Amino acid sequence: MSEMPVEKEQTPKGRRRRDAAATQAALLQAARTLMNERGIHGTSTRDVAHAAGVNQGLVYRYFGSKEKLFAEAAAGPDDDSSFLATAPLSEVPGLLLDTVLERIGASGQHTHHLSGLLSGAQNEAIRDVMRDRIEKRFGEALAPRLTGPDARLRAELLAALIAGIGLFRGKIGTAALVSAERDELHRYVDALAAVLIDGLPESD
């Protein structure tokens, strides 16, 4: 299969870097939106480029392939969870929950990258990127901050807890989670996450 021709962006030199970043961001956002609506197999690079308002050749210029585009889109922005390394530990579960809730629209449609994780999990290239991103964010950024045994496991369990909430509330639409108020969700998440942040109490 021959590669798509690459179209050069006709921009003044002073704007080139800014426009390239904006184009990549637009492609990633379009890929996330379409992936959530149609799934990966139902979305073409032509669809993504059209939704982003750019030439299809720019998909290959910036990402190299459809798989790499969707891998980056599914994994989410690099700075999406930067607070894992800096925020007070007691606030991390709530910040993670807010990150998910803010990306679920009023219609209940899940727009967070965790939806992309689900739809992309069958693709090996996308799965590799997702695994690396999760392990980097939670295993390398959060786990070293946790005291006690099984820190990396506890960090990934926290990721699984938040991902499950996003999946049930935004993608599947289970009644109780969809109707729950934010404050109510925060109370339960804080309580559930406390043992993951603090570790299990020492047994006698």
Each residue of 31-61: pLDDT tens digit?
Answer: 888 887 777 778 899 999 999 999 999 999 9
pLDDT confidence of 197, banded at 50, 70, 90?
very high
CATH class of this structure's domain 82-198: mainly alpha
| Angstrom distance (rounded) from CA 116 to CA 39 | 8
Angle (CA) 38-39-41 rounded to 5° is 105
Quick: pLDDT tens for 59-115: 999 999 888 888 888 766 554 578 999 999 999 999 999 988 887 754 344 444 444
Give the number of other Cβ atoms within 10 Å of residue 64's Cβ.
Answer: 11
Q: Where are the domains of the chain?
A: 13-74, 82-198
| Angstrom distance (rounded) from CA 124 to CA 18 | 32
Q: What is the mean pLDDT of residues 18-42?
A: 84
DSSP 123-158: SHHHHHHHHHHHIIIIIIIIGGG--SS-HHHHHHHH
pLDDT confidence of 5, banded at 50, 70, 90?
very low
Longest dimension (CA), the chain: 70
Give the homologous superfamily in CATH for domain 13-74. Homeodomain-like (1.10.10.60)
What's the confidence (pLDDT) of residue 6?
A: 45
Question: What does pTM read for this prediction?
Answer: 0.69
